[in-house]
Amino acid sequence: MKRFILLFIAGLLIASAPAVADPPATIPVGVTIAGVDVGGLTPEAATATIQQEFQKPLRLAVGSTLVLVTPDVLGATPVIDKAIERALVAQPYSAVPLGVTVVSGTIADFVAKLAQRFDRPAVDSKLYLRNLRPWLSQEHGGRKLDQRRAVRDINTALAAGTREELRLVMTAVKPKVTRRNFGPVIVIRRNTNGLLLYDGMRYRRFFAVATGQSRYPTPLGRFTIVVKWKNPWWYPPPSPWAQGQKPIPPGPDNPLGTRWMGLSAPGVGIHGTPSDASIGYSVSHGCIRMHIPQAEWLFNHVDVGTTVFIVAA
């Protein structure tokens, strides 16, 4: 039975039905917002659904590790109101994008922290002397998070509303120094007056040399070649044995021969000598003498920076 309300208007008794509110608006069937089906929902219900879906964590694969991070940590907030407005007037089964605002720099800061955690520097091969021979440790490659690409991909995932696993790109970092490319190494055996040249750990060639006499011994240790000179001048060192002597220009009488490979040990170098008879003996003032043709050959096969081990063997 219908209920009537009696109204007295201008002395007349009028019967009328109560006012009925319009039904709440709903989003057309099949409409999605950022991939979430909101068809048939009211704006309030759709807002709650989108908010719940948006706050699900992103799944970031970094190497073999899965990192879960919620959008609020990334400074991301969905612009739901505008998306709902568009959804209400959209055609059925339409896809409506969801705007997302992000606090500037938040994603980049988060990605930078990931890089600190997961980046691995490359490890170069290191040189040691074992059993009087060069030995090189095994090099190892590194990895580096592509931060710019990661920021872009995370922004894209937030805008698309996707929560599928997102693999962040790690780029390989190659070591600069390896066993294969290490280069020449010299080992000088002072007691037996021999110079051995290696290519990394691989033996290459032996040379008989002259080393320092007992009063001026060739120093022991690890050194590097710091300078290379062709046709060098000889200058008297500040030592008692050279007092009163004058510089000698390049030529057949130069005690350094035609090549000088100066070491990081002060005043000590590898050089040629016109005194071939001294080779094989401990007669120099600390330097390492070679036959001139052999010194020229060695000069062409080593570089500034080449390691020189001098041992008492």
Note whether residue 18 is domain-resident: no
For a pLDDT cut of 70, what percent of the chain falls above it?
92
pLDDT at 238: 85
285: annotated active-site residue? no
Catalytic residue among 140, 271, 285, 301: 271
Determine the average pLDDT of the residues in 62-81. Answer: 96
- State the DSSP code for 18: P
Is 82 in the same domain as 195?
A: no
pLDDT at 239: 85
Catalytic residue among 140, 285, 287, 301: 287
Is 224 in the same domain as 307?
A: yes
Q: Are strands 76-79 and 99-102 parallel, antiparallel or unpaired?
A: antiparallel
Residues 6+ apart with CB under 8 A from 15: 4, 5, 6, 7
Q: Are strands 282-284 and 307-311 parallel, antiparallel or unpaired?
A: unpaired
271: annotated active-site residue? yes
Q: Report the CATH number that the domain containing residue 40 is assigned in CATH.
A: 3.10.20
Determine the average pLDDT of the residues in 187-200. Answer: 98
Q: Give the model's confidence band at 241: pLDDT under 50 very low, under 70 low, under 90 confident, else very high.
A: confident
Is 80 in the same domain as 115?
A: yes
Is 276 in the same domain as 153?
A: no
pLDDT at 5: 39
Q: pLDDT digits over 12-55, tens only?
A: 444 455 554 555 689 999 999 999 999 999 999 999 999 999 99
Is 98 in the same domain as 70?
A: yes
Is 304 in the same domain as 194?
A: yes
pLDDT at 313: 94
Determine the average pLDDT of the residues in 217-234. Answer: 97
Q: pLDDT digits over 288-300, tens only?
A: 999 999 999 999 9
Could you give the angle at the alpha carbon of 253 between the alpha carbons of 250 and 256, nearest 5°? Answer: 65
H/E stretch holding 56: none
Q: pLDDT digits over 118-176, tens only?
A: 999 999 999 999 999 999 999 999 999 999 999 999 999 998 888 999 999 999 999 99
Distance CA 174, CA 55 (A): 39
pTM: 0.75
Note whether residue 128 is domain-resident: no
Note whether residue 261 is domain-resident: yes
Is 59 in the same domain as 163?
A: yes
Note whether residue 149 is domain-resident: yes
Determine the average pLDDT of the residues in 220-246. Answer: 92
Is 43 in the same domain as 65?
A: yes
Note whether residue 262 is domain-resident: yes
Is 112 in the same domain as 198?
A: no
- Contact at 8 Å (CB) between 306 and 224? yes
Note whether residue 20 is domain-resident: no
Is 148 in the same domain as 275?
A: no
Determine the average pLDDT of the residues in 189-212. Answer: 98
Is 37 in the same domain as 92?
A: yes
Find the domain containing 250 and state its range: 184-236+245-311
Distance CA 179, CA 170 (A): 25
Q: pLDDT digits over 249-280, tens only?
A: 999 989 999 999 999 999 999 999 999 999 99
Domains identified in the chain, total number:
2
Note whether residue 263 is domain-resident: yes
Is 157 in the same domain as 44?
A: yes
For a pLDDT cut of 90, what percent of the chain falls above it?
86
The three-state (H, E, C) secondary structure of 60-117, written as one string: EEECCEEEEECHHHHCEEEEHHHHHHHHHCCCCCCEECCEEEECCCHHHHHHHHHHHH
Note whether residue 179 is domain-resident: no
Distances (CA, A) of 203 to 51, 132, 139, 195, 212: 69, 12, 20, 11, 25
Residues 6+ apart with CB under 8 A from 192: 313
Q: Report the CATH number that the domain containing residue 263 is assigned in CATH.
A: 2.40.440.10
User: What count of other Cβ atoms lies within 10 Å of the Cβ of residue 16?
Assistant: 10
What does 149-165 look like in DSSP terms, one character per residue?
Answer: HHHHHHHHHHHHT--S-
